[in-house]
Structure 1
């Protein structure tokens, strides 16, 4: 009973961490997105105030003589809870006019630039510890004369988000309770199917929580998107009702049609603004509808403001009712003189905006899914190891599972910095008196240090052991990342990035050497797939979560978090990873394996006498890496940006590549270990790569736009990226097995040859962006260039499969020692 309880508790803790991470990223994404909705709404309300001021200034009158600022802004303050104060300052920053809710003193905190301020939005955002300030430029015919600003309390936005997420705590508790009952009463009966049922139940729980978080976000987003239209409706009703309270009739008004048209022009999301009396249209932004009965549209969300005393109105599907509480004259309250304002926004537009923001969470959901899968796999391995009485960690599958988190977390550390590091380094270069172009050098020294570490690290692993190498790598990575926190000098940062590169290179070789020593011949490719999963999963998770956390933690906070992960990695390796012995090598391989201890250049000359090694690295290995860095990472984002794709869309399109790699890597690695046919697998990988690149290049074909299929270009682009990723999954892990089975690997040792291969394939990493950049320039940045590259990749694949493998020529004794 006690063992069952502890087993249930351990599984429950892992599930709780996974679900809590999912809730956190959802909550963080809401905090990242919802303020933008609020600011768009306040901008629209600010335009209501600024338009009369601009008209006044257009007559050549001075700003400080504008009459009626308080009457103009009071209805807005009364109708909008999220606005505390409104003010108008001149060019010198002095307040010319101001108004606040309930005539309270206007707070004057210190404001700083906000993350939410975006170019092209028509407004700027600043923030203090308690307020956001949204500012709109006020201009005369000739120049800027002042700034209109609105104060918005932060706690109002936070309270709305918290209110939306409170129900999720109940869902969280219910899932944990039900899962605990399931594991405690049925888990001990699963026997050999433990892994399968744990995976199914864990995944189902994770998906239920994901659905609840997504529904919560959609509700919050829809309320935020529709809030602008609701606020505009209320603001307009407030302005008109003030006049109605004086006993005027709608027919006494002049210029209402101009006011409605201004509302519509300043808020292009709104499709119409109308005023009706007893169901008939009196004023409408579409002049042809005047005098006709008002018809509710099923494809619109409608906001209705009743300009009368508050009464209960029946709800209608697809319509939102907004009521104004006023004190109107008795003759205006009668049903036969019912006056209403209607504002409509197309449902299609609302749904597209919800999707644009909700799909950003899908990226975070995938990132959380990778983390959850890592936790689950580690937990299942421990459970099965205990059940088999294999606590001494000699079981092959268990030992491979234990090494999975190391490479994943090492890449996750660097991935956390991806979203902001280029800009961070640019600012540092400028502050050090250098040009912005010098920021790229900090990336170059990192990858150079990484590449130059590979072969010496392999020699160290052979001589001193893998565990020490892993510990040293995690320590250097953690220390280097932590040193990035206080450093502001460019040259000091360059030294630190070299340190980080060395640490990451040692971790990579340590994981690779561990896999080669632990994995049997039947599992070598599956072992290599651990590196593929670690790179793609760690990079996706790190970049997505890092982009979310940087808003709250800032860059230095992210560096500290990454350093703490490095410290955890050091503890994990020291505590849970045992030293592994060397697998027995063939007798004739022993003399040649000592070659790695000599000159690396001489060893490379030996490898280039092996035609199988040469054709693999030139026609497949370097080509694939050049395609990854030159096309997928460098060229495609550049082309998509030129075509007007949003930055988040570019990142999400790239995710289809990573998803394709992960899908095929696991399947293909098992097939290779079972069949041992690496050459044909690599061939089909090259053909698929070429096909994917050709499809991507077709997005630049003018004839594609002539097809009457909506979003066809985007669909072709995504298909090409997915096929490219699927094809690279045929290459990334199998090519390691293929290299390890070349004649040169028989003589020099698989670990040595694989490490040198990893070093040489970095030529593709470096050359890819340079080559693709030149080709795009020669072809006037046409996407069709990518199709020509795809054709070249197909030809390389054909040359690879039709050329003879050959054998390594004899190796004179001591050739690598000369």
Structure 2
């Protein structure tokens, strides 16, 4: 029996390694494909720009577009620039003057206007297909599949060499890091290859423009304007720092930026030679290349962190000792389950706001309706908390949990039917009900299997899993959005839910020992009477109005709703939007774990809540400046910083706020106070998107965040001046 258990664990471990490394493979492949496609497009645009300059010089001399001879000679270098170019057309009005091929292709189109001295006389169209680019990436990544197989074999070998359960964690860490490092190297090699292709394309342009000197034997001394031509070409390509042309080992033309540093440029130099003794050397700005490399590494660091949260949460299950108690085992099983069910919803976070806005417009509604889609999710979430809490007291918790996963997955699938507004509305409500059901069921498991020895650790599971799941989902969803499409993301979320439904079956069946007396109606009346009593307590209401509800409003209205949709309108990529949102979750995850022990040492909570509101005010003021910045790169940088600060603020609030309301209303039952507070603060979830959406329409983007900033500043001061704990709570 023991041997069978060990073999089963080894098989599950090998399967988990395979899935985890495949996830890294997919992340690296998608990143490489996206970067290589952009480099290919840049090379084609550079070649096209050179052709445009040449044609417009002829047009400016008075020659009509249809009378220009030798178009094929001028335009053929564009085809040679990159394998993604499948066709070129020159169009004047409704007349097609030139076409490279008569074949039909499914391709994206770049249209460049052609002008003479006075007006536009035609256009140059270049058709690009990603098929060839994808084929090149596939060829490069094919060996990585063998690396996955080798890594799985290495994992099995390491496990078989040791009898300790912790070897699973160690072996998994080794193969995970090795695979990550290998994928990073592969993407770096592809980036360098794309850079070389770009340099070759630019060298072809220069060679073509200087062909009378380089190929026909004309004395360079008799040709003027070569340096100026290179300067204009270099200025059209900002990343190029210098271009040097040599003929028979003699420099005949050169253009370089001011303050050029040859030592630094030698790292980014690409000399391209031909059989006639000509050489064109293209040098790129090291700072530009470094910034692009840092961006790639940043993407990988964030994405691999997201993958690691998921993978290591599961591998810890296999690393547990056989001597662990049932409570420890169940808590270890609950952690990855909750993390991935949160990930299921957060996969859609980078694409959902803009998608819902498009659905509203397609159905004849204004963009303000997007906030109601978000509100429906949190209405479903809030309305389900009490009924589901009752269900887990009367039925098998595992069945309740499985039902929540099914509902959440079904809500993801319904989002694919964008032409049916009613189904989209239903989808958001069902998803809210499903996520609330999962949350309550997981919380019930945690309460059943925790005691005084592990209660703090058990309570931290929810905080950790929510933020880690959001980090992983937002990052991976943003990256895969371009590769899978929006409907593909919805389908992936539903598939993840299906896998978690199967995984939930490993949890023990938890049938209550005895049925709770009273009906759901009685429970609801009891809750309402308790709420009514607490609403008459000034300290409770101050905390609710100045901290609880506004904080939850910022989570749904700003983080989940406004920031993604407004950044999307500024042209920010889904990948960058996902990373902005991840910054918030990283900050909350880090700060929450540090604040709770600090609160316990100091014995006061008011300072943390006031400080949290003050920091939230600063973050909102920073966020208001994002929409005054024209450069999208700077906008992303400021938005990321503001989300980090927002996460810091909420980290100070999330941990101590329940303790605060219990201490300041200590004449009431502590459990009833905490439950009522958690229920009422959901009003912030429900109202967040509506309030922020209305402010955006009334006062504009930047002013909305500044108005909210002033509110939190006033709330912080008011709480500090007027909030006083009850005497009993103060002495506790």
* Structure 1 match to 2:124: 148
Secondary structure of the equivalent of 1:109?
coil
* Aligned partners of 1:635 and 1:773 also within 8 Å: no
* Aligned partners of 1:696 and 1:716 also within 8 Å: no
Alignment partner of 1:183 is 2:159: yes
Which one of 136, 140, 149 corresponds to residue 112 of structure 2? 136
Which one of 103, 108, 129 corresponds to residue 104 of structure 2? 108
CA distance in 1, matches of 2:339, 2:702: 39
* Structure 2 match to 1:795: 717
Alignment partner of 1:218 is 2:188: yes
CA distance in 1, matches of 2:289, 2:62: 40
Which one of 311, 324, 327 corresponds to residue 372 of structure 1? 311
CA distance in 1, matches of 2:394, 2:294: 55
Secondary structure of the equivalent of 2:252?
strand
After superposition, the Cα gap between the structure-2 partners of 1:728 and 1:158, relative to the gap in structure 1 and judged at 3 Å, is same
Which one of 608, 618, 626 corresponds to residue 684 of structure 1? 608
Which one of 270, 294, 298 corresponds to residue 320 of structure 1? 270
* Structure 2 match to 1:812: none
CA distance in 2, matches of 1:74, 1:29: 30
After superposition, the Cα gap between the structure-2 partners of 1:484 and 1:678, relative to the gap in structure 1 and judged at 3 Å, is farther
Q: Deviations over 1:294-352 (max 9, x none)?
A: x9811225xxxxxxxxxxxxxxx653221223xx4xxxx6xxxxx54333221111111
Alignment partner of 1:437 is 2:368: yes
In the TM superposition, 1:795-814 aligns within 5 A as 795=717, 798=720, 802-804=724-726
* Aligned partners of 1:273 and 1:285 also within 8 Å: yes
After superposition, the Cα gap between the structure-2 partners of 1:746 and 1:435, relative to the gap in structure 1 and judged at 3 Å, is closer
* Structure 2 match to 1:624: 551
State the 1:377 CA deviation. Answer: 3.0
* Aligned partners of 2:151 and 2:175 also within 8 Å: yes
CA distance in 1, matches of 2:505, 2:77: 66
Which one of 204, 220, 228 corresponds to residue 250 of structure 1? 220
In the TM superposition, 1:404-803 aligns within 5 A as 404-486=335-417, 488-579=419-510, 581=512, 596-598=523-525, 600-608=527-535, 614=541, 616-629=543-556, 632=559, 649=576, 651-666=578-593, 671=597, 680=604, 683-684=607-608, 686-688=610-612, 690-691=614-615, 693-694=617-618, 697=621, 721-722=643-644, 724-726=646-648, 728-733=650-655, 735=657, 747=669, 750=671, 754-767=674-687, 770=691, 777=699, 781=703, 788=710, 791-792=713-714, 794-795=716-717, 798=720, 802-803=724-725
* Aligned partners of 1:411 and 1:535 also within 8 Å: yes
* Structure 1 match to 2:138: 162
State the 1:419 CA deviation. Answer: 2.4
After superposition, the Cα gap between the structure-2 partners of 1:531 and 1:60, relative to the gap in structure 1 and judged at 3 Å, is farther
Gaps of 5+ in 1: 100-104, 112-125, 127-132, 290-294, 302-316, 334-338, 706-710, 808-818
TM-score (norm. length: structure 2): 0.84
After superposition, the Cα gap between the structure-2 partners of 1:456 and 1:5, relative to the gap in structure 1 and judged at 3 Å, is closer
CA distance in 2, matches of 1:7, 1:766: 44
Which one of 246, 258, 263 corresponds to residue 298 of structure 1? 263
* Structure 2 match to 1:351: 290
Q: Deviations over 1:58-94 (max 9, x none)?
A: 34543222222022133454565554443323343x5
CA distance in 1, matches of 2:571, 2:465: 32
Q: Deviations over 1:105-152 (max 9, x none)?
A: 5421244xxxxxxxxxxxxxx1xxxxxx44323344555443323344
Secondary structure of the equivalent of 2:703?
coil
After superposition, the Cα gap between the structure-2 partners of 1:375 and 1:734, relative to the gap in structure 1 and judged at 3 Å, is farther
* Aligned partners of 2:583 and 2:644 also within 8 Å: yes
* Structure 2 match to 1:117: none
CA distance in 2, matches of 1:801, 1:772: 31
After superposition, the Cα gap between the structure-2 partners of 1:488 and 1:728, relative to the gap in structure 1 and judged at 3 Å, is same
* Structure 1 match to 2:45: 43
* Aligned partners of 2:342 and 2:466 also within 8 Å: yes
State the 1:21 CA deviation. Answer: 0.7
In the TM superposition, 1:2-81 aligns within 5 A as 4-59=6-61, 61-78=63-80, 81=83
Which of the pair has more CA radius of gyration?
A: 1
State the 1:516 CA deviation. Answer: 2.8
* Structure 2 match to 1:267: 237
State the 1:26 CA deviation. Answer: 1.0
* Structure 2 match to 1:310: none
After superposition, the Cα gap between the structure-2 partners of 1:182 and 1:340, relative to the gap in structure 1 and judged at 3 Å, is closer
Secondary structure of the equivalent of 1:285?
strand
State the 1:372 CA deviation. Answer: 1.1
* Aligned partners of 1:625 and 1:768 also within 8 Å: yes
* Aligned partners of 2:44 and 2:81 also within 8 Å: no
State the 1:652 CA deviation. Answer: 2.9
After superposition, the Cα gap between the structure-2 partners of 1:783 and 1:556, relative to the gap in structure 1 and judged at 3 Å, is closer
After superposition, the Cα gap between the structure-2 partners of 1:678 and 1:108, relative to the gap in structure 1 and judged at 3 Å, is farther
State the 1:445 CA deviation. Answer: 1.9
* Aligned partners of 1:526 and 1:666 also within 8 Å: no
CA distance in 2, matches of 1:643, 1:420: 14
Secondary structure of the equivalent of 1:538?
helix
CA distance in 1, matches of 2:711, 2:32: 41
CA distance in 1, matches of 2:405, 2:591: 29
* Aligned partners of 2:474 and 2:582 also within 8 Å: no
After superposition, the Cα gap between the structure-2 partners of 1:544 and 1:794, relative to the gap in structure 1 and judged at 3 Å, is same
State the 1:278 CA deviation. Answer: 6.3
* Structure 2 match to 1:96: 97
Q: Number of paired residues?
A: 720
CA distance in 2, matches of 1:78, 1:714: 36
CA distance in 2, matches of 1:667, 1:515: 22
Q: Deviations over 1:784-813 (max 9, x none)?
A: 767655644543664697422658xxxxxx
CA distance in 1, matches of 2:312, 2:12: 15
Gaps of 5+ in 2: none
Q: Deviations over 1:722-769 (max 9, x none)?
A: 45534533543555577789978985x94x765543331123334556
* Aligned partners of 1:32 and 1:548 also within 8 Å: no
Secondary structure of the equivalent of 1:485?
coil
TM-score (norm. length: structure 1): 0.76
Q: Deviations over 1:636-686 (max 9, x none)?
A: 7799899998875565344333112223445666x59xx977963674365
CA distance in 1, matches of 2:196, 2:62: 37
